[in-house]
Structure 1
């Protein structure tokens, strides 16, 4: 197409190519709005060589299972509601031939400012490192079971979440990090483990069956604040809390770092109910490192 101009009947340029000295592409909104992130009002403009593409306000990734027969109706309702609200954008529907992380990388390279994950806890866990690295906003439209993260953020299941996305109520929240892995909610610790807190004191449950977890947000036994730069070590199962805090039989320790020491046997930490990490490992907090869309029923202020 060297040196060729193509126009619509009314004379509007669709694209131009000039080789070798003046490579440029003139764009306009395609037939399906949001397919390429062009301006929603249909204005034309020029993307010259070396210039950035127009920003994508919203980009959506539909996880593989969302396209299963049992979720197909809800998926269609979500797309319809997004269009009604005028917040549709570039969408990637993941298949067995299309990798979720690769699709997210492509959307981020194209300038996505808000990445909306249509999926569940496992979907969020897969894309969280890329979101943190790129410092874009995260939104969740929950579909199906396993929605602990969405519930903690106050996101209703299905198409109802689209209205929350459109209101765009944002919060900057802390993240936990265990080794090189991130978590939003918390880390479930192995039974009988020993925890070195803030390099100052150690905690070990007297009851070998006591549950121990490190919480960032969403615990039913604490009023955690995911924007205070602290995590909470929660120890439950004893006859009473050491410091009289939390629910009966539960002790809560505000911490900044925790080193989980290795014990005999195959015991691992579980992050957000999805990722397994082998001890010994150090857990720390990344202050206000995630920009996220939240709903009114979130489990924090």
Structure 2
């Protein structure tokens, strides 16, 4: 039994034709289900708990990265499989999972390749792709063993579970099934006339603490914003997701 959770952005008129087409495809594939529309007034955890009680086995987030962030934090620890259908802008996570369109998503859900995926945990919330530090000046303490300090305000710092699109494939990092997260630090090494080149350093870890000379913002999966200091740790095999054959892990 499927539960499709529609982001509030889908109420916009420009998405209606594509939404109707998606619903027809799901019905034709035999994977239609109950539809529930998200809103600030709806208790998502309570909704999912009630739907699981009546037999829902698969929850599909229909929307963007922010939608997926909300749904993941509502289903962690529950016996359901998570799927995603990307709509609108800001769908980095769907692309990272090899899902590049609504049609891709419906076929992927139908094919139903299920993988256990690690999550990142920042304080008490979970993320699947990455957490981005807006201020590049930070001190990162690794598992109480050593620390890395970034002194350049122009540094880019990301805690990654999935491989970022701008990082070449084939590296032995960014595997969401290895029980580790990866800290990606990019420091400006050379400025040209048209672009700046960045030197990349990657540090695998299971737990870090991040602080800085001043309070910095950390955005998880393009959604919730946290303020330093924070603790981030790997949460191995935390969720079951429907993934595409075209994924890069």
What interval of TM-score do these two structures reach, taking the shorter chain for normalisation? 0.7 to 0.9
Note the 1:152-191 alignment, pairs <5 A: 152-189=96-133, 190-191=135-136
Aligned length, in residue pairs: 237
Please list every run of 5 or more consecutive structure 1 residues that lacks an aligned counterpart in the other structure: 1-55, 241-246
Note the 1:80-229 alignment, pairs <5 A: 80-94=24-38, 98=42, 100-189=44-133, 190-219=135-164, 220-221=166-167, 223=171, 224-229=174-179
The match for 1:259 among 206, 209, 213 is 209
Q: Is the aligned partner of 1:284 residue 2:229?
A: no
2:194 corresponds in structure 1 to none
Question: Does structure 1 conserve the Cα–Cα contact (< 8 Å) formed by 2:123 and 2:232?
Answer: yes
In structure 2, the CA distance between the partners of 1:221 and 1:96, relative to structure 1 (3 Å rule), is closer
The alignment partner of 1:159 has SS state of: helix
2:21 corresponds in structure 1 to 77
Q: Is the aligned partner of 1:250 residue 2:200?
A: yes
Question: Does structure 1 conserve the Cα–Cα contact (< 8 Å) formed by 2:119 and 2:238?
Answer: yes
Residue 109 of structure 1: how far off its partner (Å) = 2.8
Question: Which is higher, the Rg of structure 1 or of structure 2?
Answer: 1
Question: Does structure 1 conserve the Cα–Cα contact (< 8 Å) formed by 2:143 and 2:207?
Answer: yes
In structure 2, the CA distance between the partners of 1:201 and 1:156, relative to structure 1 (3 Å rule), is same
Residue 100 of structure 1: how far off its partner (Å) = 4.8
Question: Does structure 1 conserve the Cα–Cα contact (< 8 Å) formed by 2:138 and 2:151?
Answer: no
- C-alpha deviations, 1:76-114, integer Å up to 9, x for none? 001100110111122223467655555434323322111
Residue 184 of structure 1: how far off its partner (Å) = 0.5
Query: What TM-score do you get using the length of structure 2 for normalisation?
Result: 0.88
In structure 2, the CA distance between the partners of 1:179 and 1:104, relative to structure 1 (3 Å rule), is same
Question: How many Å separate the matches in 2 of 1:263 and 1:188?
Answer: 17
The match for 1:294 among 232, 243, 248 is 243
Question: How many Å separate the matches in 2 of 1:261 and 1:64?
Answer: 35
Question: Does structure 1 conserve the Cα–Cα contact (< 8 Å) formed by 2:136 and 2:151?
Answer: no
1:232 corresponds in structure 2 to 182
More relative contact order in 1 or in 2 (CA 8 Å, sep 6+)? 2
In structure 2, the CA distance between the partners of 1:199 and 1:96, relative to structure 1 (3 Å rule), is closer
> Where does structure 1 differ by over 6 angstroms across 4 or more consecutive aligned residues?
none
Give the CA RMSD over aligned residues: 2.0
Q: Which has the higher strand share?
A: 2
